[in-house]
Amino acid sequence: MRKAFISPGKYVQGEGELLNLGYFVNTFGKTALLIAHADDVKRVQNQLDATKETYGIQFIQSNFGGECSREEVKRLQALAAESNCDCTIGLGGGKAIDTAKCVAQGGPLIICPTIAATDAPTSHSAVLYTPEGAFDDYAYFSQNPSVVLVDTKVIAQAPTRFLVSGMGDSLSTYFEARATRSSYSPVNAGLPCGYREGHCPPARGTNTAFALAKLCYQTLLADGIKAKLSCDINQVTPALENIIEANSLLSGLGFESGGLAAAHAIHDGLTIFEGTHQYYHGEKVAFGTLVQLILENAPAEELEEVLDFCLSVGLPVCLADIGVIAPSEDELYQAAEKACIPEESIHAMPFPVTVENVVAAIKAADALGAQWKSTWNHH
Binding site members:
94-98, 119, 123, 129, 169, 264, 281
The 8-class DSSP code of residue 193 comes to P
Known catalytic residue at 124 = no
Of the candidates 124, 268, 281, 321, the residue annotated as catalytic is: 281
Measured in whole angstroms, how far is the alpha carbon of residue 185 from the centre of its chain?
20
Known catalytic residue at 277 = no
Determine if residue 105 is left, alpha or beta; phi over 0 gives left, psi from -120 to 50 gives alpha, anything else beta: left
Binding-site sequence positions for glycerol:
119, 169, 264, 281
Q: Which residues contact 25 (CB under 8 A, 6 or more apart)?
A: 32, 55, 57, 86, 87, 89, 110
Query: What are the φ and ψ backbone dihedral angles of 87, each rounded to 5 degrees?
Result: -160, 170
Known catalytic residue at 281 = yes
Of the candidates 40, 86, 151, 169, the residue annotated as catalytic is: 169
Q: Are 359 and 333 in contact (CB under 8 A)?
A: yes
Q: Which residues contact 211 (CB under 8 A, 6 or more apart)?
A: none
Q: Are 218 and 309 in contact (CB under 8 A)?
A: no
Q: Are 368 and 316 in contact (CB under 8 A)?
A: no
The amino acid occupying position 360 is: A
State how far the Cα of 241 lies from the Cα of 177, in Å rounded to an integer: 23
Of the candidates 86, 151, 264, 321, the residue annotated as catalytic is: 264
Binding-site sequence positions for NAD(+):
94-98, 123, 129
For residue 89, give the nearest of 128, 127, 44, 119 by alpha carbon. 44
Residues in the chain: 379
Q: How many CB atoms sit inside 10 A of residue 342's CB? A: 5
Of the candidates 37, 124, 151, 267, the residue annotated as catalytic is: 267
Known catalytic residue at 169 = yes
Q: Are 204 and 369 in contact (CB under 8 A)?
A: no
Residues that are catalytic? 169, 264, 267, 281
